[in-house]
Structures are given as structure tokens and as C-alpha cells.
Amino acid sequence: MEAATVHAEHDPTQQRFVVDTEGHRAELVYQIEGARMTITHTLVPDAIAGRGIAAVLVESALQHAREAGLKVVPACSYAAAYVRRHQQFQDLLA
């Protein structure tokens, strides 16, 4: 499975984005404080790692933040690296 075929689902009540595939769940967890979204961690099980799923999760969260008018604090090291590599999201940084 390639990243282009996966879609992250947003679960706002649990403050997370998830991808369920092949019996495994990958997730990105965030916290909202005022107008700020802090991405606290991403978790992709080893069985489905290396397929771009973490990137799908982070990009989904960043798109959500943009649409909601939120600034982002990428506390998760993967999310921070993703934002550094993708200049189109620099304006979201808190």
C-alpha cells in the first residue's frame, strides 16, 4: 500500500487523526489550546511503517489547522521535521 491510497480520518473528540490499514492503526495525537494546535506525537506500527503514512497523518493535521485558523506547535519530532521539509506549512508555525 502506498501513501497515496491511504486517507487519514479525523476524530476531533479524541483530538487525533488515524489511519487504519491491514489490521493496524497509525495515529497522530494533538491538543488544542486557544488558537494553537500542538502535535504531541505520531505513531505508526512497524508492520505498516515506511509507506508514507506518518506524512499523510501530519499533512492532514496541518491542513485541518489551516482550515480552522490555528497555529501549530510541532512538539513531535516527525511533525517538526515534516514542516521543515515542506515550506508551504511554515506560515502555520506558532
| Under 8 Å between Cβ of 72 and 39 | yes
**pLDDT tens column, 10-55:** 999 999 999 999 999 999 999 999 999 999 999 999 999 999 999 9
Which CATH number is 73's domain given? 3.40.630.30
- Beta strands (DSSP E) in 1-94 are 9-11, 16-21, 24-33, 36-43, 71-74
Q: Is the pLDDT of residue 1 over 50?
A: no
Instruction: Report how many domains make up the chain.
Output: 1
Write out the residue range of the structural domain in which residue 8 sits: 3-35+42-92
Counting other chains too, the contacts that 84-91 makes at CB distance below 8 Å and 24 or more residues apart are: 86/59, 89/62
Q: Which tens digit of pLDDT belongs to each residue from 82-91?
A: 999 999 999 9
What is the percent of the chain with per-residue pLDDT over 90, rounded to a whole number?
94
**Three-state secondary structure call for residue 83:** helix
pLDDT in the model for residue 5:
81
